[in-house]
Structure 1
């Protein structure tokens, strides 16, 4: 097995002290230019790389790494969040290590433990739909922590959320004002915080519009994937149980559009979360847009702020959503009209 070169090897090759090499690789600039040049040449020749994992174990040192645990790598929503977090972290000199819990509480806990064992400097976490343990039961020390998209009962963390209930209420009211009377909710399990909040906003809007109480709601909560949403909306179209749809996430929206295409007709539709192809339909898809990039940037900035000494009280930031009406919320006499 080939041994990785060490700082001691670099010092020997460059003919300088180990302390001088250490100062150079850690970014100090007050080093004689001739010595710095010799060290740089030795690093290139030997292929030396810093061992940041080892460095982070030593007191007062850091591996400059942030751990990010999301729920589903395949969901474009989370890839957009991750990209925004990476952008802010990279500008500050931090690497982001990303893992997916797949909505499994035990897997989530294993990932958190593994990241902490690797001495990440901070954590940004999307809690799973069913937690396996409380954060209060996690062994200290816990690095600076931001809970993203979904809150949990833990006083030692900041949180960044969207106004899910407000956005869903606005979407459902838009459908009602356009003349719909039997508006179905199409989404994922209500075990998920965001789904519960969106369903609450949907129910509040129906009550506000005088369209029935909770017992009359047309609620579908088995659309975890695009394919499941397509099947559920296909059934709605066949039995004519609804005259409009509120799709509670981007996968439900895309599934609904595929069902419309298969059936050759459509229902009024508003979806939660914008997506690139929403403009390609006829009419384009009306959506509730949450600023996903702002959520990611805010989470990264909060972690970095804590790492830089921010000791202000932990807080929850709720970011507003925006209703974008493009015409799909209205009734049309035939598909594509």
Structure 2
């Protein structure tokens, strides 16, 4: 593995003193513009990054740290993923550093850069809905990298996904078989890969059942449970839908809140199980995915690369399964 470039390398490339490079890297501005330009060009050419962990790493040792960047720290889905990644990393003697991009491309890039500056040994990322920078623009070396929950955006990286389309198809067909003919899709933005895949599965199930996608029943603005509650509340008020496929856990919770407010419910299947899904009457039917397995698989993939695994990069798609608990059926009068 090639060694990481140092400030000495930058100084030699830019033909300046080490002290001048240090001042530039640490943000000092009273540097001759010509020298600053040469230093900046050398940094880009060599792919130099500040080593924020240098003081705590002895020569020949690694940081024993894995970085995890996901989308939303407040979402229980990602907290479960993080816990699973951490359990595997900890067992192997690695510290997990976690950061949330909030689905913002520039923030995601800053977090990735910061983790790389800290010399993490491996990196697991959930790409944001709008990438701000192509991974080809990230200066090498890039440590072992796994894309989680969404497809790989870098040719040298592994990926771990769930069968989003298949799970959404199963959920929609269950609602259709229970008698629904106007099934609403309630979820987040189609800019998110998982939402696109789940809507594709929903559309495939409608076609299989002899129904067409109705754009008026396709809601892709429910990023929060409150937004989902308002959307489902509108469906209840105008009687435009006779069932709901909620495309993530927040949309499911929002639908339940709308049912509670209206004093009646529609047949419902949600994507992703959650802790209180069994407390309703009836309990909530869900498409379940093994979130812990997804996190463990990603962590094991990174650790395998660190231990010398040189097999071709791969995308692993984990199965989902439908759990019917009764909420997919019409309400009894």
Q: TM-score, normalised by structure 2?
A: 0.83
Contact 1:84/1:293, CA 8 A, preserved across alignment: yes
Asked if 1:155 is matched to 2:160, the reply is no
The residue aligned with 2:293 is: 294
Max Rg structure: 1
8 Å Cα contact 1:56-1:62 kept in structure 2: no
**What's the offset of the Cα at 1:56?**
6.8
Distance 1:217 1:232, change over 3 A: closer
Q: Deviations over 1:98-139 (max 9, x none)?
A: 000000000000000000000000000000001001111110
Give the aligned partner of residue 78 of structure 2.
Answer: 78
Cα offset, 1:155, TM superposition:
0.9
Cα gap change, 1:106 to 1:216, in 2 (>3 Å): closer
Partner of 1:333: 332
> Aligned residue for 1:130?
130
- Indicate conservation of the 8 Å contact 1:167/1:201, yes or no: yes
CA root-mean-square deviation: 1.5
Gaps (5+ residues) in structure 2? 1-51
What is the SS of the residue equivalent to 2:97?
strand
For residue 277 of structure 1, give the secondary structure of its aligned residue in structure 2. coil
User: Partner residue of 1:144?
Assistant: 144
Distance in 1 (CA, whole Å) between partners of 2:202 and 2:144 is 35
Q: What's the CA shift for 1:173?
A: 0.2
TM-score, normalising length: structure 1: 0.82
Hey, what does 2:308 align to over in structure 1? 309
Structure 1 runs not aligned, ≥5 long: 1-51
* Offset, 1:59: 5.2
Native 8 Å contact 2:267 2:329 kept in 1: yes
Equivalent residues, number: 283
2:257 equivalent in structure 1: 258
> Secondary structure, in 3 states, of the residue corresponding to 1:99?
strand
**CA contact 1:122–1:307 (8 Å) conserved in 2:** yes
Match status 1:274 vs 2:276:
no
3-state secondary structure, aligned to 1:301: helix
Map residues 182-197 of structure 1 onto 2, 5 A cutoff.
182-197=182-197
Q: Secondary structure at the match of 1:229?
A: helix
Partner SS state of residue 314, structure 1: coil
Q: Show CA shifts across 1:33-66 (max 9, x none).
A: xxxxxxxxxxxxxxxxxxx922676653101000
